[in-house]
Amino acid sequence: MGKLTFIFLIAFIPAAFAGGWEGTAAMALAISGGFLGITYAVGMGLGINELQIMSKEELYQLIATGLLVALLVGGNNVIDGLSGGMGSGGQNLQDTAISVIDDTLTNPTSGMLGIYNSVTTIDNKVAKESSKTMSCSIVSIGYTVSACGGYSMLSTPLSMSGSIVGFAIGELYSMKRLINISKNYAMSLLLPIGIVLRTFKFTRGAGGFLIAVAISMHILIPAGILFNQMLVDTFIAEAGSGYSGGLSTTVEDCDPSSGIGVYGGDQGAQDTLALFRTDLQQVVFSVLVRGTLGPVLALLIMTAGIRALTSLGGAEVDVSALGRFV
Amino acid sequence: MVDTCAISGFDGIMENTIMPLSAMATIASALICGFTYMISQVITNPKLSLWAKTEAVQLIFSAGSVFLLIMLMNTFCTMKVSEVASLFGKSSDSISVYDAAAKYLADAGYYSIRALTVVRFHLEAYSVLGALSVFECEFAGGIGCLFGYSGTNIQALGGYGAHQAALGIFFNSTIMSVISALNFLFILQYVYRGFVVMFLPLGIFMRSMPYMRTFGALLISVSISFLTVYPFLLSVFYIMEDAILDKPAYEPGSFGDYYDETIYSEGGAGESLEAAVAGTDAVYENYFPNGDNAAGAMMFAVYAFIAAVFLPTAALLGTIGTIAYLTRMYGEEIDLSRILQMV
């Protein structure tokens, strides 16, 4: 009777929550509790002990899930409070992480999109200058000089820079996408479906997996982004602003006819290279640490979280395959 | 005749192949158990007798799996994803779980193809624009070039190596997204139409054979998981299509300028003529009337990757996790780490 009362109480869990994803999760717990209650009642009515024992066993699993959700509600509120105070404009963990990603992408001085634009503009100009060749021919006698050919040495590093910055942009957009998906669905759909699936023995693995994915996407990805941002802020505060900025490299025009005989185009290429090398220090930190390491860290934390949580949920899923996408 | 869940040929496979094969496997296993029991009685061997009884119980458990599977499948066929979504305050189309799973993968493939088109469009444009060269005659105000030539040869619109290097990565990843979506779709179709034909009856038979219980349990678990959990997880993603695939536009923003793949489809003559008559900038504007959007193309590509590679792989991993759990439920522990590495 005591356990039946407990099941009955579970059905009223929604009243304990204000709304939002917490209400949906509570509803899922109530649905699961209802299923178990019916199973227990059928077992009791027909005198099938095994059914009653199974219901009791499953009830313990449901209580464990309920505790996990309660822990999540409390933990999420604490994390939201902490992340909201980071001053990035977000009201909760997810919004704060999105603000950080947006800033990393579009910051006027050190944003990835600005750096990518600078790299491609420099690359475009360098290619134009390096392509200039001077030709002179009369009655099939003449010459062709590639006096600006010195610029072509810059094309390879600029292409490589473009691919590295492009990769960072892609990673940042992918993290933003995962956070946006989790904002809309992780806690309001994946978590409750996971709770319901976890109630049934044969779908416990899938249920545990969905719960783990929901929690990891909702909390661990944004937490990873913010964790990296905190490290970046600490480093910038210690090392100074020399590690945060954009590209100011300019490319001089090259006249292929003026330098014939003295290789006049070389000086402009050397000046461009010198400027580019000076800019690299502040750009490399932005691109590799803020733009690349942050998302990689967040994804690794998420996959590690899924593995740990599925193990906690009763069905260990090896998600190393997801980690390989990094 | 409309088949179960409107999957063409499904009822035929179930009624004409799976059920008879499962029945035959059950009868064959029961005969072996019965024969072994008789032998044990003849030679008065209690160990053999116990084995036969144990296997008979396990056989009932295995045969019960077929009914469990059919019951679950019928539930999934009648249950609409709109009903599942409405349980949690969401909305979706009124289609079965199996249809929703297939539709999600088809939509993910469509989304990936659109992303691929946008990335390819940019790559083509950058290749064409980068290759455009102009000869500027400086010989007697240009008239001198009628007799000879003197001037500068120049790559008029500059180079796009950095763009091409960056987009090349995303072009590869988007091709992988398309292939992955199709691959997962074919796996699903194979699961619907042929998977259980072999695995379920074989699993029932193997589970009653000495030393083969682990293998049999694995086969039964694979059948149940792939026919229930895998489509269900994909159908959950179908409910989330507005966030994952930007439904109903199926593009993250405005990419209408970048789907036209007919520019200069006849070769470079049009491009050369246009550059000579209207200037090199006209060639650029032909490709990008409102400017290029390489960063947007990259964004589209990574979204396609998440939709067509990351999430279906996660569904597959969840399914494999369920297989491990189910085999444990059937009384055997198996190590699936090698299979996971293949994923």
Q: Do A185 and B243 touch (CB under 8 A)?
A: yes
Most confidently modeled of A65-79, A267-281, B271-285? A267-281
pLDDT at A158: 92
Distance CA A176, CA A170 (A): 10
pLDDT at B245: 95
CA angle B65/A57/B203 to nearest 5° reads 20
* pLDDT above 90 (res A6): no
Distance CA B203, CA B21 (A): 11
Distance CA B92, CA B81 (A): 6
Tell me: ipTM over 0.85: no
* pLDDT above 50 (res A56): yes
pLDDT at B45: 87
The answer to whether B238 and B188 are in contact (CB under 8 A) is no
Collect all residues with Cβ–Cβ distance below 8 Å to A268 and sequence separation of at least 6: A129, A148, A150, A151, A251, A252, A253, A254
pLDDT band at A15 (very low <50, low <70, confident <90, very high): very low
Contact list, A321 vs chain B (CB under 8 Å) = 313, 317, 340-341, 343
The sign of the CA dihedral B10, B13, B16, B22 is negative
- Tens of pLDDT, residues A160-178: 999 999 999 999 999 999 9
pLDDT at A127: 92
Query: Among residues 286-305 of chain B, which lie with CB inside 8 Å of chain A?
Result: 294-295, 298-299, 301-303, 305
Give the mean pLDDT of B300-321.
92
* pLDDT above 90 (res B72): no
- Tens of pLDDT, residues A188-224: 888 888 887 877 777 778 888 888 888 889 889 998 9
pLDDT at A66: 79
pLDDT band at B279 (very low <50, low <70, confident <90, very high): confident
Q: Do A126 and B165 touch (CB under 8 A)?
A: no
- Tens of pLDDT, residues B126-140: 998 898 888 888 776
DSSP A140: T
pLDDT at A51: 74
Q: Do B243 and A184 touch (CB under 8 A)?
A: yes
**When comparing pLDDT for B338 and B76, which is higher?**
B76
- If you search the block for the tokens 């091709």, which residue do you land on? B175
A159: left (phi over 0), alpha (psi -120 to 50) or beta: alpha
CA of B144: which chain A residue's CA is closest?
Answer: A138
Q: Do B88 and A28 touch (CB under 8 A)?
A: yes
Own/partner pairs for B34-38, CB < 8 Å, 24+ apart? none
* pLDDT above 90 (res B295): yes
* pLDDT above 70 (res B6): no
Percent of chain B with pLDDT over 70: 86
Distance CA B195, CA B186 (A): 11
Greatest CA span in chain B, whole angstroms? 117
Q: What six digits make up the tokens of B30?
A: 């029961």
The closest CB to that of A135, out of B150, B303, B309, belongs to B150
* pLDDT above 90 (res A121): yes
- Tens of pLDDT, residues A178-187: 999 999 898 8
Backbone angles phi and psi of A146, in degrees to 5: -100, 75
Contact list, B68 vs chain A (CB under 8 Å) = 202
The answer to whether A105 and A169 are in contact (CB under 8 A) is yes
- Tens of pLDDT, residues B11-28: 676 677 777 777 887 888
* pLDDT above 60 (res B3): no
Q: Using a CB–CB cutoff of 8 Å, tell me whether A127 touches chain B.
A: yes
Q: What six digits make up the tokens of B180?
A: 């992955």
pLDDT at A235: 87
Sheet with A133-138: strands ordered across:
A141-145, A133-138, B148-155, B133-137
Q: Do A120 and B337 touch (CB under 8 A)?
A: no
Distance CA A33, CA A116 (A): 54
CA of A314: which chain B residue's CA is closest?
Answer: B325
CA Rg value for chain A = 30
Give the mean pLDDT of B112-118.
96
* pLDDT above 70 (res A18): no
pLDDT at A5: 47
Contact list, B291 vs chain A (CB under 8 Å) = none
Q: Which is nearest to A199 in space by CA: A64, A41, A319?
A: A64
Q: Do A131 and B155 touch (CB under 8 A)?
A: yes
- Tens of pLDDT, residues A272-309: 888 888 888 778 888 988 888 888 888 888 888 888 88
Give the mean pLDDT of A131-142.
81
pLDDT at A290: 86
The closest CB to that of B161, out of A123, A177, A317, belongs to A123
Contact list, A212 vs chain B (CB under 8 Å) = none
- Smallest CA–CA distance, residue A196 to chain B, in Å, is 11
For the ranges A122-126, A231-235, B19-23, which has the lowest average pLDDT?
B19-23
Q: What six digits make up the tokens of A15?
A: 């009243």
Q: Do A209 and B321 touch (CB under 8 A)?
A: yes
Q: Do B302 and A177 touch (CB under 8 A)?
A: yes
For the ranges A234-243, A308-317, B136-145, B332-341, which has the lowest average pLDDT?
B332-341
A63: exposed, middle or buried (C-beta count within 10 Å: 0-12, 13-18, 19+)? middle
Distance CA B73, CA B6 (A): 13
Residue A134: beta bridge partners? A145, B152
Q: What six digits make up the tokens of A93?
A: 């963990």
* pLDDT above 70 (res A259): no
* pLDDT above 90 (res B238): yes
Distance CA B76, CA A108 (A): 52
CA of A27: which chain B residue's CA is closest?
Answer: B88
pLDDT band at B306 (very low <50, low <70, confident <90, very high): very high
Mean pLDDT of chain B: 83
Collect all residues with Cβ–Cβ distance below 8 Å to A48 and sequence separation of at least 6: A42
* pLDDT above 60 (res A87): no
pLDDT at A12: 46
Contact list, A102 vs chain B (CB under 8 Å) = none
Mean pLDDT of chain A: 80
Give the mean pLDDT of B168-173.
95
- Tens of pLDDT, residues B48-66: 888 888 778 777 777 777 7
A25: exposed, middle or buried (C-beta count within 10 Å: 0-12, 13-18, 19+)? buried
Q: Which of B76, B88, B242 to mutate to test the interface with A (most CBs of A within 10 A)?
A: B88
Percent of chain A with pLDDT over 70: 81
- Smallest CA–CA distance, residue B39 to chain A, in Å, is 33
* pLDDT above 50 (res A63): yes
| Domain residue limits, chain A | 1-74, 85-323
pLDDT band at B182 (very low <50, low <70, confident <90, very high): very high
The answer to whether A116 and B166 are in contact (CB under 8 A) is yes
pLDDT at A82: 62
Give the mean pLDDT of A92-98.
89
* pLDDT above 60 (res A40): yes
**When comparing pLDDT for B332 and B180, which is higher?**
B180
| H, E, C per residue of chain B | CCCHHHCCCHHHHHHHHHHHHHHHHHHHHHHHHHHHHHHHHHCCCHHHHHHHHHHHHHHHHHHHHHHHHHHHHHHHHHCEHHHHHHHCCCCCCCCEHHHHHHHHHHHHHHHHHHHHHHHHHHHHHHHHHHHCEEEEECCHHHHHHHCEEEEEEEECCCCCHHHHHHHHHHHHHHHHHHHHHHHHHHHHHHHHHHHHHHHHHHHHHHHCCCCCHHHHHHHHHHHHHHHHHHHHHHHHHHHCHHHHCCCCCCCCCCCHHHCCCCCCCCCCHHHHHHHHHHCHHHHHHHHCCCCCCHHHHHHHHHHHHHHHHHHHHHHHHHHHHHHHHHHHHCCCCCCCHHHHHHC
Q: Which of B309, B317, B319, B341 to mutate to test the interface with A (most CBs of A within 10 A)?
A: B317
pLDDT band at B304 (very low <50, low <70, confident <90, very high): very high
Give the mean pLDDT of B189-210.
75
Percent of chain B with pLDDT over 90: 30
First to last CA, chain A: 52
CA angle A187/B310/A185 to nearest 5° reads 15
pLDDT at A313: 67
- Smallest CA–CA distance, residue B48 to chain A, in Å, is 28
pLDDT at B208: 67
pLDDT at A166: 95
Q: What six digits make up the tokens of A284?
A: 């490399």
The answer to whether A323 and A310 are in contact (CB under 8 A) is no
pLDDT at B163: 95
Give the mean pLDDT of A119-148.
86
pLDDT at B30: 86
The closest CB to that of B298, out of A170, A256, A317, belongs to A170
* pLDDT above 50 (res A231): yes
Give the mean pLDDT of A126-138.
86
Length of chain A (residues): 326
Q: Using a CB–CB cutoff of 8 Å, tell me whether B232 touches chain A.
A: yes
Contact list, B159 vs chain A (CB under 8 Å) = 123-124, 126-128, 130-131, 155
